[in-house]
Structure 1
Amino acid sequence: MADPTPRRAAVALNITIIGAGLGGLSAAISCALAGHNVLVLEGAKQLAEIGAGLQITPNASRLFAQWDILERLRPLAAEPTYLAVRRYSDGKILSLTEDFNDDMMRKYGAPFWDLHRVDLQRMMYDRAIELGAKVRLGARVADIDFETPSLTLEGGEVLNADLLVGADGLWSKCRERFLATEGKTDAPLPTGDLAYRIVLKADEIEDTELRDWIKNASVNFWAGPGAHVVAYSLRGGEMFNIVLLQPDDLPEGVARQAGTASEMRESLKGWDPVLTRFLNHVKEVDKWKLMHRPELDSWVSEKSNFVFLGDACHPMLPYLAQGANSSLEDGAVLGHVIATLESKVQLPQALAMYEQLRKKRGEAIVRETFAQRHDFHMPDGPEQEQRDRLMLSKLGKKIDVKFPSRWQCESDVQPWLYGYDAKAETEAALKSSPYT
């Protein structure tokens, strides 16, 4: 259910958000709920009709109730009944969490859902509009003045605001201009990995065993040498999302390129026959270079009239599925910290609190994704054998040790990721350090 008493600021800011991705729309919803005037600028001329799956973990899905979209999204979700990590070559289960959906609700009070990105983006867009936010499509930012603050669109139009929010993703124009004011530049850096992203439709697959996999929602990982695969259902079992994560062979400077189904299948030759049968249904596929960026010294401008969120400041490898989830957290916290403003002069304190709450966590998650890659991509040998023995030793038992699958690591990573509550964290910070 929606937050019954959303806090609203005593002063309404004019907030312009650059980017209508999940992070930007999260900020739009949260800032509108806090009583501010919100404008979202999106460079694309229409919201993308394409996309693939997202794993929405409890730290983000709990926000949907606060935004009053949880029940609207429920029919579009697939809720995995188990999560399994498998050996790449034969599909042998190394680790298994049964009743995974119930386990998530019991521990964290919010669901673990697999959603199609398009479904979530559309729902969030609609909710932002309902709350009074305005969205302009085809509005590309050419330059930003961090003194005013204001921005100039391609075509010359100048827009002023009290606060600018840079939510324009990995290839952020905001980041480029922000660093330029300090005489610095940076660019996305290759991680050495790429992703094949695939969505199959259940009604186009005649193989009854594979259709059962799709209809009965679950999350399955195959961990192999230098690569891994994750697969899960979407839209209540109507679709199957498969992501292949493996060494990057794209040319330098190429971020995305059409691949071939035969090339993709050849790269996983000798893997689990069930996975191979799924891949035999793929007709066309794209390859995406996985990129990251260095940590920024600060996410807030010197005059506290501009702030970053999401991939623009902490892009993440997909190995913990926290890119989207963390961006949703960012937008929620931003809305909460400016919901208690009594005057504009308190904005620097609010943004400092936002950065304090979000920067350390976001950057820690980035580092943890690289650690997950290491544990899922071990070459066959002594280290891999030791990993497998540890995982097998916990089959059917509580996972109370540092565990190679952070998705199931009950002692450490899982509660840190999934137990996070953006609203509670912000309220605690405001209680201990109220604005003056």
Structure 2
Amino acid sequence: MGSMSAEPLKVLIVGAGFGGLTAAIECRKKGFDVILFEGNKSRRQLGDIISFGSNSGRIFRSWPGVEEKLDPICHHSDGLDFRTYDDEFLCRQTWGAEADWGKRFNGHRGEIHEVCWNHAIEVGVDIRLGCKVQEYFETETEAGVVVNDERIVGDVVLAGDGVRSLARTIVLGFEDKPKSSGYAVYRAWMPTDGLKKNPSTAWLANPEKDLHVGWLGPDVHFLVATLQKGTACSWVLTHKDEADVEESWSAPGYVDEAIKAIPDWAPICHDIIRATPEGALVDWKLVFRDPLPTWISPKRRIALIGDAAHPFLPTSIQGASQSMEDGVTAAVCLELAGKENVPEAIRAYEKIRYPRVLATQRTGVTNRDAWHKADFDYVRKNPESVKLPRMDWVLNFDCETHAYDVYNETVESLRADPNWKPDTTL
């Protein structure tokens, strides 16, 4: 353990996404003073379906009362049915074998976020809305931010300010531009009223059972989930798109444009899209960045977490989970290092997290290509080939226990090799 100080560690966290909220909650659990800055003036109920694997599910379950609040709003299907773009049934993937790994939580991003937000307030996190960070700074002994022209100083800054992170500039020394992944997603969250009116889609709005169906085609996949006793539906359509990400990252989507992405597909897919109410559809360009050479600032007082450090493709099904793991690991490292050894804690956080994150990022590409680049003659003969890889090393993982277990050896290795840099090979 680090040396004890009369003054608690002061942690400044930027961005109230899942990574920032997790870091804030875990730091409060360890007795730190925590200020969480959020640029928006209110907590916004944005988004559609988001998935948390059992590796992050165990984090939710460690927060008293949170699991009980999440259960009624989350998706509880026992499997995913795969079909071809012309509606031929391929196979069903079930999740029963993962029961020993823990519990998954899938649901509306805004609703899950609200539960986590309220828990952060309950444990004493000082959340400051309408506080857009204008500048980051650090010295050998402190780090801070300029917010609304006010200079606020702490011992360390954890920057979870998203895919367009300002903090990345101080870490890298230059502005890192996003680039197109070559794909975009039409995505929607909607009531099932429209589905119920059409005989071809009414079966999806099942009040007795949550459903999850995926239609696969050449370079496109379409996932549909219904939940909350058949009253809510989320669909996601991933397709090729070479749009300039500087022009549009996320914008309103249009039903006719979404249908153009799957012109020759089964009528049921068109019917689901046409049931989407006006204003419920988003056109989301998937931006991508090469792995950063480092996540930490030159004086080792500022660390990137979440999408600021490592944007994930949604086909990894791990972006939010890995952001939460970042928050937990950073808190453990700061606890074990103590107030006098923050730079060492920040280096240990990076070395513990970087290889795992990089390996998990790769699954976003391999999962996507397994569907999008598939030979459908082969798929029809070998339908099990489309099942998602569900890997023990990703999902059956306790990031908190791991951080405690490897912290000391990680610090010793960094002392022995002070010039260590991450392997960024994706």
Which deviations, in whole Å up to 9, do the C-alpha atoms of 1:127-163 show, x marking residues without a partner?
111111101111011111132412112x411000101
Is 1:141 aligned to 2:136, yes or no? no
Which deviations, in whole Å up to 9, do the C-alpha atoms of 1:251-305 show, x marking residues without a partner?
5522233332112123212223332221120233231111011211111223221
Distance (whole Å) between structure 2 residues aligned to residue 333 and residue 191 of structure 1: 29
Distance (whole Å) between structure 2 residues aligned to residue 322 and residue 252 of structure 1: 22
1:191 to 175, 178, 181: 181
Is 1:420 aligned to 2:397, yes or no? yes
Which deviations, in whole Å up to 9, do the C-alpha atoms of 1:73-99 show, x marking residues without a partner?
111112121122221222x2323124x
Q: Structure 1 residues 131, 316: closer, same or farther in 2, change over 3 A?
A: same
Is 1:162 aligned to 2:165, yes or no? no
Matched-pair contact (CA < 8 Å) for 1:114–1:233: no
Matched-pair contact (CA < 8 Å) for 2:300–2:343: yes
Residue 419 of structure 1 and its aligned partner are, at CA, apart by 1.1
**For structure 2, which runs of at least 5 residues remain unmatched after alignment?**
416-426
Is 1:74 aligned to 2:71, yes or no? yes
> Over aligned residue pairs, what C-alpha RMSD do you find?
2.4
- 1:353 corresponds to: 348
2:197 to 206, 211, 230: 206
Distance (whole Å) between structure 1 residues aligned to residue 323 and residue 253 of structure 2: 29
* Count of aligned pairs: 402
Distance (whole Å) between structure 2 residues aligned to residue 417 and residue 289 of structure 1: 26
Matched-pair contact (CA < 8 Å) for 1:41–1:137: yes
The within-5 A match list for 1:237-276 is 237-248=230-241, 250-251=243-244, 253-254=246-247, 255-276=249-270
Sequence identity percentage: 25
Residue 104 of structure 1 and its aligned partner are, at CA, apart by 2.8
Q: Structure 1 residues 59, 32: closer, same or farther in 2, change over 3 A?
A: same
- 1:362 corresponds to: 357
- 1:152 corresponds to: 146
Matched-pair contact (CA < 8 Å) for 1:73–1:120: yes
Is 1:126 aligned to 2:121, yes or no? no
More deviation in 65-74 or 38-47? 65-74
Residue 35 of structure 1 and its aligned partner are, at CA, apart by 1.1
- 2:59 corresponds to: 63
Q: Give the match's secondary structure for 2:336.
A: coil
- 2:377 corresponds to: 385
More deviation in 205-214 or 35-44? 205-214
What TM-score does the superposition give when structure 2 sets the normalisation length?
0.88
Distance (whole Å) between structure 1 residues aligned to residue 58 and residue 245 of structure 2: 40
Matched-pair contact (CA < 8 Å) for 1:115–1:235: no
- 2:172 corresponds to: 179
Residue 318 of structure 1 and its aligned partner are, at CA, apart by 0.6
Q: Give the match's secondary structure for 2:201.
A: helix
- 1:40 corresponds to: 36
Residue 63 of structure 1 and its aligned partner are, at CA, apart by 0.7
Letter in 2 for 1:122: E
- 1:113 corresponds to: 105
Is 1:222 aligned to 2:215, yes or no? yes
- 1:84 corresponds to: 81
Distance (whole Å) between structure 2 residues aligned to residue 67 and residue 169 of structure 1: 24
- 2:307 corresponds to: 311
- 2:420 corresponds to: none
Distance (whole Å) between structure 2 residues aligned to residue 95 and residue 9 of structure 1: 56
1:231 to 212, 221, 224: 224
Distance (whole Å) between structure 2 residues aligned to residue 337 and residue 212 of structure 1: 49
Matched-pair contact (CA < 8 Å) for 2:171–2:298: no
Q: Give the match's secondary structure for 1:55.
A: strand
1:96 to 92, 99, 108: 92
Letter in 1 for 2:402: E
Matched-pair contact (CA < 8 Å) for 1:8–1:35: no
Distance (whole Å) between structure 2 residues aligned to residue 356 and residue 141 of structure 1: 27
Q: Structure 1 residues 334, 326: closer, same or farther in 2, change over 3 A?
A: same
Residue 387 of structure 1 and its aligned partner are, at CA, apart by 4.4
Residue 250 of structure 1 and its aligned partner are, at CA, apart by 3.5
Q: Structure 1 residues 167, 58: closer, same or farther in 2, change over 3 A?
A: same
Letter in 1 for 2:255: A
Which deviations, in whole Å up to 9, do the C-alpha atoms of 1:347-380 show, x marking residues without a partner?
233222221221111122222211111111126x
Matched-pair contact (CA < 8 Å) for 1:8–1:33: no
Distance (whole Å) between structure 1 residues aligned to residue 245 and residue 398 of structure 2: 40
**For structure 1, which runs of at least 5 residues remain unmatched after alignment?**
1-6, 395-402
Residue 168 of structure 1 and its aligned partner are, at CA, apart by 0.5
What TM-score does the superposition give when structure 1 sets the normalisation length?
0.86
